[in-house]
Amino acid sequence: QHFLIKNLVNSHYINIILSHTTTHAADPVHLTEVCANTTFSPNSIYQSNLNSLLSSLSSNATQNLEFYNTTSGQNTPNPVYGLFLCRGDVTPQLCQECVAAAVKEVTKKCSREKVAVIWYDECMLRYSNRSFFSTVDEKPRFALLNTQNITEQDKFNKLLAKSMNETAAQASNAPIGAKKYGTKEVNISAFQTLYNLVQCTADLSRNDCSTCLQAAIKLLPWCCSGKQGGRVIFPSCSVRYELYPFYRMEIATLPPTPIHPPSYTGKKKISTATIIAIVVPIVALVLVILSFCFLTMRARKKSNAIKGENFKKSDQILNYQAASELPTVDSCLQFDFGTIEAATNKFSDDNKIGEGGFGKVYKGTLPSGQVIAVKRLGKSSGQGVEQFKNEVELQAKLQHKNLAGVLGFCLKGEEKILIYEFVPNRSLDNFIYDLKKQGQLDWAARYKIIGGIARGIQYLHKDSQLRIIHRDLKASSILLDADMNPKNLDFGIARILEVDQTQKNASRIVGT
């Protein structure tokens, strides 16, 4: 944010021009990219169609378009579908530069993958071997946050939720093909403003855009609760808020306010009191604006530094999603032990929902209201902290609709804890070995569960970027969600513990 203060002495005017524009570096700001593991052969029809698609996206970005989708090789056996979306406030030149940079980078980073998406601060580009136009895709996704805390968090969170929902309603109300982009500024206090931005791809319907934005907004408390800035980005939409103007706005010019000099005749001098009355308000106004400018610049530096840290190669966390075989990137994998202890009521037996060879499982509730499953691993692991983190990161890369989603981990001393999504129907053995519940598993339900388990295992064995052999597949390792869809659990834990199981239901671990 730039402030230009101009004192026109001769005309006794003070012009204050607030130019709420985001300064952009010479190059677009790269965030991350995601490449699927399904590959195509060099010099294949698919590669030819992909090259044609990327060329079309680049050329159409020069036509001052903010959004463009197209299909290449539609009449061939291997069509490619792609689009680009520029942030609603960027200039046509910056949009063109961003799309060109995205094409160059994705060609280098995802040179043989059939499915890819790449994000910049100013644009997004994606392509796939399946048609995803006019479809809401919430994964792969990632989040960024400013680690600086906000004061009066409850009040701020309510204000954020209200303003975000209003901005989402504004953006999603645009018809198909129109820009689905919205911003909103809300005063937190006399010296602090909340800036919101939301955007959907232009091919979404009003309902689909609203659905996508609401899903992203619901994740803000999980990743960024009480923080001074945060964003959640999906392939189909994104939301962001900050305490400084990070997007371009219309230049707001305050009308000149004449300062009427006192009337006098002859050589009568202006009184000291009159001079003070004129000068003091001017000086005070200048100091207030300069102070706000300083605070804004400092907040931006902190947020930018955090963003940079979150995407250092050594700290980047990748999670993989099933339907499109694409990973997600989340910046909040590590949980505080106190948070997990409070969520499970200090690991009370009343919260225990399972126990097996790798440890006990507890139901927990985070401060945001999200219900989680907490697996407290055995303390006999000989692994170090960094190795444990690396192994959890590998697990987080393996997300599939038939795998229990790893939300994160917790470390304290010998405590090694995994946090999963919570599923209400617990594990399959609770139905198979319970005479009362067996009746709920008719053949159709069992067939559905069998197929889901097989798809999850096939993903681990064959389709994932990693190759994981489960080695502990049993009824207690299969969770069932509210719709009785199976989710394989405990895949990869053998690598995490790297020791013999010592509790009941134990068997020799030989690794993955």
Catalytic residues: 472
Q: What is the DSSP string of 126-139?
A: EEESS--TT-----
193 three-state secondary structure: strand
Query: Are 419 and 374 in contact, with CB atoms under 8 Å apart?
Result: yes
Query: Are 460 and 428 in contact, with CB atoms under 8 Å apart?
Result: no
Separation between Cα atoms, residue 147 and residue 144, nearest integer Å: 9
Query: Are 226 and 153 in contact, with CB atoms under 8 Å apart?
Result: yes
Structure tokens at 463: 């389709």
Separation between Cα atoms, residue 324 and residue 299, nearest integer Å: 37
| φ, ψ (nearest 5 deg) of residue 156 | -65, -45
| φ, ψ (nearest 5 deg) of residue 449 | -65, -45
CB atoms within 10 A of CB 298: 12
Strands 237-242 and 192-200, by their bridges, are antiparallel
| φ, ψ (nearest 5 deg) of residue 197 | -145, 135
286 three-state secondary structure: helix
Separation between Cα atoms, residue 282 and residue 512, nearest integer Å: 71
Half-sphere exposure of 91 (CA within 13 A, CB side): 9
Q: What is the DSSP string of 349-385?
A: GGGEEEEETTEEEEEEE-TTS-EEEEEEE-TT----H
**DSSP annotation of 313:** G
499 three-state secondary structure: coil
Separation between Cα atoms, residue 404 and residue 419, nearest integer Å: 10
Separation between Cα atoms, residue 357 and residue 499, nearest integer Å: 11
How far does CA 344 lie from the centroid of its chain?
26
Separation between Cα atoms, residue 232 and residue 158, nearest integer Å: 18
Burial call 164-201: b when 16+ CB within 10 Å, e when fewer: bbebbbbbbebeeeeebbbbbebebeeebbbbbbbbbb
Structure tokens at 130: 């399946």
Number of alpha helices (DSSP H) and beta strands (DSSP E) in the chain: 10, 22
